[in-house]
Structure 1
Amino acid sequence: ATALLLLPLVLRCESSVNLPLSVLLEKYCEALSALYNVTGSYCNATTDQIGTCWPRATAGQLVERPCPEFFNGIKYNTTRNAYRECMGNGTWASKSNYSLCEPILDDKRKYALHYKIALIINYLGHCIAIGALIVAFMLFLCLRSIRCLRNIIHWNLITTFILRNVMWFLLQMIDHTIHESNEPWCRCITMIYNYFVVTNFFWMFVEGCYLHTAIVMTYSTDKLRKWVFLFIGWCIPCPIIVAWAIGKLYYENEQCWFGKEPGKYIDYIYQGPVILVLLINFVFLFNIVRILMTKLRASTTSETIQYRKAVKATLVLLPLLGITYMLFFVNPGEDDISQIVFIYFNSFLQSFQGFFVSVFYCFLNGEVTLFDLIGLKLN
């Protein structure tokens, strides 16, 4: 503390002379050395090339000083120490030991290799997913014999994933300079991408709502109106995203509205409804499984069998989609292993979820039979 009081005195004394920073640091180091009561042979105070002050020290002493806070634009951990030896002849060792000084790097620099591999996984997963989704979309489009309300809901869910994946590829094409300049068209791409993210979860909600209505409420599916589900899946997300866009425009109008850090307050405008429909869907599934395990266990009708298959698919996909989304809000921990596992796990789930949707709702759909596929090929 006293040394800090001495520094203004040194600077004031030299204020009339235009001295370089290195000379001022030497003056500060000499002032700091006045606090050390050294007798006998000693090394004079000095400042090394990095700017660390080595105060007056007794000959033969190993002196420790805190690591520099910044060097060459990199932040270092100041809880670690650097070392320099005062030789027996009263001179400093030619080199200071900074081997224990560790740079504090952000995740992208610290795990550069892992982020590159994760990016490859993302591209590979999205390519595989969009290929599988397009095949599933075409099957639902061409096989008119299976076009019941349940499969129309599957079809719409698959459509949202196709559109979401396409927008993801467009986002990856945005240059960093455009991202920083916050171009209007760039913000529109982010808004459309988030719209399809929300529609994903609302169509998963429609899946759960349909099964809950048919199984738990025992309501005839013939009386269900397609337009109601279309309204829930496509229309309700619109005002949510518009409200989010207005909030971004007035309060967080930067970086194309595509913040990398989760949990920003404005983002809760659309993240909140997504979490809500996920929770409601889990309640739906609990009730559906309870009914299937009790009342419909002995039933062997074709309709009941199809319900069971749909429930199995939803039981797998809903936790899958829910876990994927909730990972944005999870702190994986500070240790390296947790960070690396989080990077790969999140990349895999984010990129391949569209593939899982197409597999469970189309390729493993018992109604998409070999007979239908052969008939489609002959036609």
Structure 2
Amino acid sequence: MSPLPLLPFLSLCTFCYLQSEAGQVLERTIEEWMRYREECYQKMSSTPKPMGLHCNRTFDLYACWPDGSPGNVTNVSCPYYLPWFPKVRHGLVSRRCGQDGLWATMNGTQPWRDSSQCEDDAEVTTDEVVTRNLLLSFQALYTVGYSVSLLALISALLILTLCRKLRCTRNYIHANLFFSFALRGISVIVKDILLEKRWGMQIIEVTDWEILISNEAAIGCRMAQVVMQYCILANHYWFVVEAVYLYKLLVGAGFFEKNIYTLYLYLGWGTPLLFVVPWMTMKYLKENSECWALNENMAYWWIIRIPILLASLVNLVIFMKILKMILSKLRDNQKGYPDYKLRLAKATLTLIPLFGIHEVVFIFATDEQTSGILRYVKVFFNLFLNSFQGFMVAVLYCFANKEVRSEILKKWHLWKLDRTAQLCRP
């Protein structure tokens, strides 16, 4: 089958993709089109053929046509798979049967039909164009953010793991947090690539649509979605680990000192499994469609949101306790540090990216529950802060750390001395 007869359907699906989120409308339209096609074939096979000259019954990939009388126009209802069918349910699509018993064509090849009554009158408005461009800009923003963060995090991980003098529980926890950020960035980028590959595949044959919406074709992007949700949860629970460890240091607690790092590993990497596995199970059993990116039943989505909310609230409580302790200590040393308010503000700004406190602001305002300007403001701040947060954390807790800079300077001086010694040898 040549690709040309599919052009009307391709135009339809292009419209569906641009008007939907994550291709949901597109997938449903394809499924309805396939059901319409099967019903058409069954109807054609079960209806007796007329005697004499006539235009043969056919399915032209757009509508189902009965046998036509020579010299007459055949009308059928607009196909129900059209996304805008409720608007055109009383409309008709027409084809002309020639005197020779052949359907009329254009340019001698393409079938002629009048589908003007079945077309959607709605034009793409300026607001829709602006919205689409804005969302594309957001995607470019967080792609750059995650890429920059990824480079910074990998560099920070190499520094913390290769320098022996930097190996301690505190830096091990930092390294796990960096690694969770890196995994989160990689999983988001991979998920976007798989979605683009899935919905951007070249369509030539009708069977390509069947492959596109099959469960086998969606396995890759669904697994990417699962991995991404795990990485996001792990990232949040390593925030909790950082908060608990810092609070423990400030209060001078020494409980379970020998096994505390193992407990931190279970908390950071093990806790997300307790929520991701049930969420994945419910998606597979109840919402096993597309790439699991949309949330038709918000109850399943809260399986993921509740642990994030819990982690954010725990961090907020510890954050407030730490600030109270810092404020108390700065007041006690006010004579030596007259700018204690400035130091408190600096400590606050330093802790926010580490604990992810900004998540609390929009924790209840999900994408499905917000609209208009509020939604775009939420999406912008979430994408910007989440994508560049890894970069900020790497800078604050590695590159700007005095201990790390001192160790790097020592390594640099030793390398220069060794290099000089090699050059001075005869």
Distance in 2 of aligned mates of 1:361 and 1:195: 24
Residues 157 and 195 (structure 1), Cα distance of their counterparts in 2 relative to 1, 3 Å cut: same
Does structure 1 conserve the Cα–Cα contact (< 8 Å) formed by 2:177 and 2:235?
A: yes
Determine the C-alpha separation between the residues in 2 that align with 1:189 and 1:142.
Answer: 31
Residue among 233, 236, 239 paired with 2:271: 236
Does 2:198 correspond to 1:176? yes
Matched with 1:275 is: 309
Structure 1 residues 128 and 262, CA gap change in structure 2 (3 angstroms): farther
- TM-score (normalised: structure 1): 0.63
Q: Does 1:347 align with 2:383?
A: yes
- Alignment-mate amino acid for residue 368 of structure 1: V
For 2:220 and 2:385, the matched residues in 1 are separated by 29
Aligned ranges for residues 1-379 of structure 1 at < 5 Å?
20=75, 74=120, 76=122, 111-174=131-194, 175-177=197-199, 180-182=213-215, 183-215=218-250, 217-220=251-254, 223=257, 225-259=260-294, 264-295=298-329, 297-298=331-332, 313-317=350-354, 318-323=356-361, 328-329=366-367, 333-334=371-372, 341-369=377-405, 371-377=406-412, 378=414
Query: What's the CA shift string for 1:15-49, capped at 9, x where partnerless?
Result: xxx98589xxxxxxxxxxxxxxxxxxxxxxxxxx9
Q: Distance in 1 between matches of 2:128 and 2:383?
A: 14
1:206-254 per-residue CA deviation (whole Å, 9 max, x = no partner) reads 1111122232x43038826210111100111112211111111111111
- Identity fraction in percent: 27
Distance in 2 separating the partners of 1:342 and 1:109: 20
Aligned to 1:265, the other structure's residue is in SS state helix
* Cα distance change, pair 228–296 in 1 and its aligned pair in 2 (3 A): farther
Shift of 1:148: 2.3
CA distance in 2, matches of 1:255, 1:108: 24
Partner SS, residue 182 of structure 2: helix
Distance 1:340 1:74 in 2: 28
- Residues 180 and 341 of structure 1: CA distance in aligned 2, closer, same or farther (over 3 Å): farther
SS of corresponding position for 1:173:
helix
CA distance in 2: counterparts of 1:352 and 1:297, whole angstroms: 33
The Cα offsets for residues 240-297 of structure 1, whole Å up to 9 and x where unpaired, read as 21111111111111122222x5972212112111101111110111111112222565
CA contact (8 A) 2:315 2:357 kept: no
Contact kept, 8 Å, 1:161 with 1:354, in 2: the verdict is yes
Contact 1:180 1:256 in 2 (8 A): no
Aligned length: 284
Give the residue type in structure 1 aligned to 2:198. H
**8 Å Cα contact 2:184-2:232 kept in structure 1:** yes
Residues 242 and 179 (structure 1), Cα distance of their counterparts in 2 relative to 1, 3 Å cut: farther
Deviation at 1:156, TM superposition (A): 0.5
For 1:325 and 1:353, the matched residues in 2 are separated by: 17
Letter in 1 for 2:252: T
Post-superposition shift, 1:202?
0.3
Distance 1:367 1:308 in 2: 22
Q: Which amino acid aligns with 1:313?
A: T
TM-score when scaled to structure 2? 0.57
Structure 1: gaps spanning 5 or more residues: 1-17, 23-48, 50-69, 77-101, 301-306
Contact kept, 8 Å, 2:188 with 2:228, in 1: the verdict is yes
More divergent stretch after superposition (289-298 vs 325-334): 325-334
CA RMSD of aligned residues (A): 3.9
Distance, in Å, in 2 between the alignment partners of 1:197 and 1:212 is 23
Q: CA deviation at 1:144?
A: 2.3
Q: CA 1:284 to 1:345, structure 2 compared with 1: closer, same or farther past 3 Å?
A: closer
In structure 2, relative to structure 1, the CA distance for the partners of 1:332 and 1:146 (3 Å cut) is: same
How far does residue 141 in structure 1 lie from its aligned partner after superposition? 1.1
CA distance in 2: counterparts of 1:136 and 1:209, whole angstroms: 22
CA distance in structure 1 between the aligned counterparts of 2:394 and 2:212, rounded to whole angstroms: 32
Aligned partners of 2:301 and 2:117: how far apart in 1?
A: 36
